Chain A
Amino acid sequence: MAGVAVYGAVTADRLAWLVLALGIGAVLLLVYGLAAPNLPAIVAALAGSAASWSLSAWTRGSGAPGGTILVATATFVAAELSYWSLEQISVPDEPELLARRAAGLALRAVGALALVSFALAALGLNAGGGVLIEAVGAAAVVGLVALVYLLAQAGHEQPGR
């Protein structure tokens, strides 16, 4: 995430210090979130890092710079690693599980890279969107939140063993 902050600051056309400050603030928040441990701080740190990159992209005026692929992947990997390390506080993984999880994480990172590359390519082909697409996007967000809420509510089920 520090890399994201520095990369964002270096590539920004203006407000580089603000981008860097936002990125470094996110890194510090992540460090605190992992050390405390504090889940909202981790979420805020990840959001802060994304905001830092978004600000950098805005200063350049482009729709979505190519570096977004790396930034999105890095943010995702940072989030996965953060929650993985939080799990290790209660019960550390066995060595074989550790290796498997590392391989799984690498696979997810590659998946994220491919996904964002594909999405970026698609966005580049059809940039701009429109009111209809934005309305569909907003509805999708609301739907996603509602779906997750319902699933979490249905949580405490106790099937027979």
Chain B
Amino acid sequence: MTRYATPKLGAYVVLTALGLLAALVFSRPELALIAAPFGVLLAFGLSHSRPPDVRVHLELDRERVLEGDAITLEVELDARDTVSRLELLVDVPRGLELVSGRNPVALRLELGEDRLIELRFLCARWGAYRFGEVHLRARDAAGLFAWEETIDRAETLRVYPRPEKLQALVAPRETQLFTGNRVSRQKGEGLEFADLRPFATGDRIRRINWRASARRGELWVNEFHAERNSDVIIFLDSFADVRRGDAGTLDEAIRAATSLSERYLLEKDRVGLINFGGVLNWLRPGTELLQRYRIVEALLNTEITLSYAWKEIDFLPRGTLPAKALVLALTPLLDERAVSALLDLRARGFDLVVIEVSPLPFVEPEPGESGELAFRLWKLVREGRRAEYERAGAPVVEWREGIPLTAILQGVSASRRHARARAHA
């Protein structure tokens, strides 16, 4: 523990010295009398000053929680000596809010006392937090000396984004080879009726359509659409984040990415992640619960890293973007590098859907005519970018804070259906 003299010590020394000296200089005994209690307290404090002996034990009830959950931190203090005043401060990272208990707290500990302090925190924002750094400051009985110590028992608390319950998903245009829940255009084993064809050697008897066979006078069998999985790549643009207070486009995008990855994985699809920003991260497509955890862990580590380096989609290793994959891009359409990379993906024939995490709720035009004009021009540039995607055949949907993602996805599905119908017509 680091010991230091408190301002009170200096003040009392000055008062005592001033009183005694002035008493001598002016021959006024009352000044010496007024200084006497200060001098006695100094003598007592200096002779009885001892470093405190307190053991601290921290325990966090959970290490992995969902956004909006509450956690309890237990701080156990074991005093090996009397501590007249102990101030305790638990370092609380941004994103956690104290809901019950007092932090910081000042208390007195008697010799041999065990004290349990419970602090309850609300996990208001997703993230990986180092939590559990405790600052202690003890004072002696006279308040002349203080001891400080920082105890680092920090553990990593992972707050996962709370996924939105999605009612509908954007169906990929192409399916892959593995069994899944998606009705493939190819024929094979499945439940969805596709067509009829004449019986051929090797066909199963239970696939014979007896009604059609009776009408045609020969054996006909039912054909079904195969049920396959698909590859979905979530493309997260982390070049820029527009924030206001505790909310921002990156937060929204990460919540959406969590919801989408969880829902697609439930559908037995393979889900991958590309975190396209100042630092490039990726996860090859995978399935099952393990992949869900991998994705969420990767998303927790997402942060905006300032970089001026130009990045292209070629930087990604082979296998990160499998052929026929549906690419769901979550982007605020702010950085030219991400915009260009997505157009590049579309040009390579990927099934691309751009979900524009709108920065508009988080920005306000500068006051004045020129500010308004600049804001309108900026919005026009954004319109131009959207039009560019539309021309390339990739739908762009604007998603604003407060609108359910399900509604956006349903809109995308509907527009894709209409586009397909128009193409067939």
Q: Is A97 a contact partner of B8 (Cβ separation < 8 A)?
A: no
Q: State A93–B108 Cα separation when bound (angstroms).
A: 9
- Chain B interface residues toward A at CB < 8 A: 1-5, 7-24, 26, 28-42, 46, 51, 53, 85, 87, 89, 102, 104-108, 139, 141, 143, 145, 149
Q: Which 9 A-B pairs have the closest CB atoms?
A: A112-B37, A76-B37, A152-B5, A68-B30, A91-B106, A64-B30, A72-B34, A64-B29, A91-B87
| Residue numbers in B under 8 Å from A101 (CB-CB) | 85
Given the contacts A54-B30, A65-B30, A115-B36, A157 and B3 also touching, CB distance less than 8 Å: yes
Per-residue CB contact flags for chain A residues 81-92 toward chain B (1 = under 8 Å, else 0) read 001101100111
Q: Is B30 a contact partner of A97 (Cβ separation < 8 A)?
A: no
Q: Is B106 a contact partner of A161 (Cβ separation < 8 A)?
A: no
Given contacts A90-B87, A97-B85, A119-B32, list 13 more A-B pairs with CB under 8 A: A50-B35, A54-B26, A54-B28, A54-B30, A76-B37, A91-B89, A97-B108, A116-B36, A123-B29, A141-B20, A145-B17, A151-B46, A157-B3
Q: Is A83 a contact partner of B106 (Cβ separation < 8 A)?
A: no
Q: State A8–B107 Cα separation when bound (angstroms).
A: 39
Most buried by A among B16, B28, B141: B28
| Residue numbers in A under 8 Å from B13 (CB-CB) | 144-145, 148
Closest to A135 in B: B24
Total A-B pairs, Cβ < 8 A: 162
Closest Cβ–Cβ distance, residue B411 to chain A (whole Å):
53
Main secondary structure of the interface of A (DSSP, over half): helix
Q: Is B85 a contact partner of A158 (Cβ separation < 8 A)?
A: no
Q: Is B16 a contact partner of A115 (Cβ separation < 8 A)?
A: no
Q: State A134–B23 Cα separation when bound (angstroms).
A: 10
Given the contacts A79-B11, A93-B106, A71 and B143 also touching, CB distance less than 8 Å: no
Q: State A152–B7 Cα separation when bound (angstroms).
A: 11
Closest Cβ–Cβ distance, residue B21 to chain A (whole Å):
6
Q: State A62–B5 Cα separation when bound (angstroms).
A: 38
Q: Is A159 a contact partner of B30 (Cβ separation < 8 A)?
A: no
Closest to A39 in B: B7
| Residue numbers in A under 8 Å from B22 (CB-CB) | 51, 54
Per-residue CB contact flags for chain A residues 124-153 toward chain B (1 = under 8 Å, else 0) read 000100000010011011001101100110
Q: Is A115 a contact partner of B28 (Cβ separation < 8 A)?
A: no
- Chain A interface residues toward B at CB < 8 A: 39, 42-43, 46-47, 50-51, 53-54, 57-58, 63-65, 68-69, 71-73, 75-76, 79, 83-84, 86-87, 90-94, 96-97, 100-101, 104, 108, 111-112, 115-116, 119-120, 123, 127, 134, 137-138, 140-141, 144-145, 147-148, 151-152, 155-159, 161
Q: Is B17 a contact partner of A141 (Cβ separation < 8 A)?
A: yes
Closest Cβ–Cβ distance, residue B400 to chain A (whole Å):
43
With beta carbons under 8 angstroms apart, the residue of A138, A144, A148, A156 that contacts B3 is A156
Most buried by A among B5, B10, B34: B34
| Residue numbers in A under 8 Å from B42 (CB-CB) | 144, 148
| Residue numbers in A under 8 Å from B105 (CB-CB) | 91, 94
Q: Is B17 a contact partner of A83 (Cβ separation < 8 A)?
A: no
Q: State A115–B15 Cα separation when bound (angstroms).
A: 17
Q: State A42–B89 Cα separation when bound (angstroms).
A: 27
| Residue numbers in B under 8 Å from A93 (CB-CB) | 85, 106-107
Closest Cβ–Cβ distance, residue A133 to chain B (whole Å):
10
| Residue numbers in B under 8 Å from A68 (CB-CB) | 30, 33-34
Q: Is B51 a contact partner of A159 (Cβ separation < 8 A)?
A: yes
| Residue numbers in A under 8 Å from B139 (CB-CB) | 87
| Residue numbers in B under 8 Å from A141 (CB-CB) | 16-17, 20-21, 24
Q: Is A72 a contact partner of B36 (Cβ separation < 8 A)?
A: yes
Q: State A14–B344 Cα separation when bound (angstroms).
A: 95
Q: State A161–B53 Cα separation when bound (angstroms).
A: 8
| Residue numbers in A under 8 Å from B36 (CB-CB) | 72, 112, 115-116, 119
With beta carbons under 8 angstroms apart, the residue of A42, A64, A116, A144 that contacts B16 is A144
Closest to A124 in B: B29
| Residue numbers in A under 8 Å from B53 (CB-CB) | 161
Closest to B28 in A: A54
Q: Is A148 a contact partner of B46 (Cβ separation < 8 A)?
A: yes
Could you jot down 18 A-B contacts, CB within 8 Å?
A: A43-B15, A47-B15, A54-B31, A69-B33, A75-B34, A76-B38, A76-B41, A96-B108, A97-B107, A101-B85, A112-B36, A119-B36, A141-B21, A141-B24, A144-B13, A144-B16, A148-B13, A152-B5
| Residue numbers in A under 8 Å from B37 (CB-CB) | 72-73, 76, 108, 111-112, 115-116
Given the contacts A47-B18, A155-B145, A57 and B34 also touching, CB distance less than 8 Å: no
Q: State A27–B365 Cα separation when bound (angstroms).
A: 51
Closest to A86 in B: B7
Given the contacts A47-B18, A53-B30, A138-B24, A39 and B11 also touching, CB distance less than 8 Å: yes
Given the contacts A54-B26, A79-B38, A87 and B143 also touching, CB distance less than 8 Å: yes
Q: Is B33 a contact partner of A116 (Cβ separation < 8 A)?
A: yes
